Amino acid sequence: MGVLALIGTRKGLFVLRAADGRDRWQIEGPLLDTWGVYHAVVDERDGTWYAAANHTTYGPTVQRSSDGGQRWRRSRQIGLREESGLVLNATWHIEPGLPEDPETLYLGGDPGVLFRSHDRGESWQVNRAILDHPTRADVWIPGAGGLCCHSIQIDPRDPGRIYVGITSAGTFRSDDAGETWVPRNKNIVADFRPDPYAEVGQCPHKLLLHCTQPDRLWQQNHCGVYRSDDRADSWLRLDGNGLPSPFGWALMLDPDDPDTAFVIPARSMEYHYGPGGRLAVYRTTDAGATWESVSNGLPDQSWTVVLREASAFDDESVYFGTQSGSFFVLADGDTWLEAARHLPTILSVEVTSWSA
Amino acid sequence: MVRIVVPSVLASEAEGKQSFDVEAETLGDALRALPVADLLFNERGELRHHVNVYVDGEDHRERGGLVSPLEDAHEVRIVAMVSGG
């Protein structure tokens, strides 16, 4: 089975396709030209494409296509109620619901907001419990990336159990389909705050649940790499032991192995490029106890980074795109293949199976 | 009746249509009647910051803003603010 990659960039959406070998890629695009595509995904339940699209002049929206990207329709009802005192700054991440909820999708946005659609993306209702969370007013302080709700993970065993990751706010879990949310940041450091182990105020950069072991979650945080084996009730810090930096955004998993994960470290919050000016991927196969570089095929010197939505994985491989417009796929023999270059700044990568 | 001319990005969001003939008393009413109104205004009904609107060549801010009557105006032109490097 081949693979289709949706690559969101600052200047639209690019579509890359490859046959089973993943060694030759065809590029189409840009679709949604001039829109910044923060995230795009294929809803595997019905094949609809969704894009969190943001325009510098015309604002944030969600675009969707039911014909493989040829025609797009934008959501008409999306935004925050005036009494909130907030306006929607950006749409960040679209998460299709579980197969048993075929009409339902979730949308994360800035300023730290979550929406749910019950009509396949035509209209979106804001989650009031996140919007009115009692910790928002005093503790949620936007950083350089704003307050973006970038990660939405649903327990495949229970559609009522949902996790969200919000920058400068933390990880939150709901066990009642979003009626209430509890912070789940125990043991996660926020060294940029007066109390580095406060209940709220951490800065997850990417949060992922393992599909076959859903009690296990991973996160690349502003301050380290973490794993939880108890539904985010507590977290174990995993950086060190081979990782050159605790800082980064990208996170990839192996659907077949809950102990395997990939990260792409950046030097620090001040220096947004890899340690030593090198683009390097690190992999653990022992649940984070040790890390090794998997960087054959990547440039020796590269002053770029991989952003929080710009990496993906499937049963066959892992993929990422850089701020400098290169798209890489891990080919046979643990060597990276540069499948595309000179694209606009890559904001997001998602993959799905595809056949010619 | 006033003709509203939109830039290419908005036209592509309106099935390729580049101009609209609208009957409205005020500029705001005319803009809100467009099928791309949601791209011009935020959820508070405020015109987005980087959207410029000219009425017969005059910046709408200089002629009373969105509440200004269109009266004998012929053309409203929407222009994205020049920005970036």
From the list A294, A260, A257, the residue with the least C-alpha distance to A279 is A294
Instruction: Count A/B contacts: CB-CB distance under 8 Å.
Output: 42
- Which stretch of DSSP H or E encloses residue A220? strand A217-221
A-chain residue closest to B16, CA distance: A71
Mean pLDDT of B63-74: 95
The ipTM is 0.94
pLDDT at A139: 87
Q: Most A CBs within 10 Å: which of B31, B42, B78, B83, as the mutation test of the A interface?
A: B42
The CATH number of the domain where B30 resides is what? 3.10.20.30
> Does residue B7 form part of some domain?
yes
- Return the structure tokens found at A191: 């060294």
CB contact under 8 A, B9 and A79: no
Comparing alpha-carbon positions, the chain B residue that sits nearest to A60 is B39
Q: Give the number of other Cβ atoms within 10 Å of residue B50's Cβ.
A: 15
CB neighbours of residue B69 within 10 Å: 13
Query: What 3-state DSSP class applies to A20?
Result: coil
- B55 falls in which pLDDT band (50, 70, 90)? very high
pLDDT score recorded for residue A141? 87
* Contacts with B34 from chain A: Cβ below 8 Å: none
Say if CB A14 and CB A27 are below 8 A apart. Answer: yes
**What percent of chain B is modeled with pLDDT above 90?**
93
Distance CA A16, CA A9 (A): 13
Contact with chain B for residue A87, Cβ under 8 A: yes
Written as six digits, the tokens of A7 are 């690559």
Polymer length of chain A:
356
* Cα–Cα distance measured from residue A247 to residue A225, given in angstroms and rounded to the nearest whole number: 8
For residue A206, count other CB atoms closer than 10 A to its CB. Answer: 22
What is the pLDDT at residue A22?
87
Please check whether residue A111 touches B, CB under 8 A. Answer: no
Is B42 part of a structural domain of the chain?
A: yes
**pLDDT tens column, A66-125:** 999 999 999 988 999 888 999 999 999 999 999 999 999 999 999 999 999 999 999 999
CA-CA distance, A31 to A16, in Å (whole number)? 12
Residue type at A80 in one-letter notation:
L
pLDDT at B85: 58
- Within 8 A by CB and 6+ apart from A242, the residues are A282, A290, A291, A292, A293
* Residue B27 DSSP label: H
- Spatial distance between the Cα atoms of A252 and A311, rounded to a whole number of angstroms: 7
| Domains within chain A, CATH numbers bracketed | 2-354 (2.130.10.10)
DSSP state of A230: S
B85 domain-assigned: no
Within 30-49 of B, beta carbons closer than 8 Å to A belong to 36, 38-40, 42-44, 48
pLDDT band at B84 (very low <50, low <70, confident <90, very high): low
Domain count, chain B: 1
**DSSP secondary structure letter of residue B30:** H
Point out the residues of chain A with pLDDT beneath 70: none
Q: Is A43 helix (H, G, I), strand (E, B) or coil?
A: coil
pLDDT of residue A143: 81
Q: What is the pLDDT of residues A2-42, one digit of tens each?
A: 999 999 999 999 999 999 888 899 999 999 999 999 999 99
Name the one residue in this structure whose structure tokens are 């106890």: A289
Q: Which domain holds residue B31?
A: 2-80
Query: In the β-sheet with A162-166, what is the strand arrangement from edge to edge?
Result: A149-154, A162-166, A170-174, A182-183
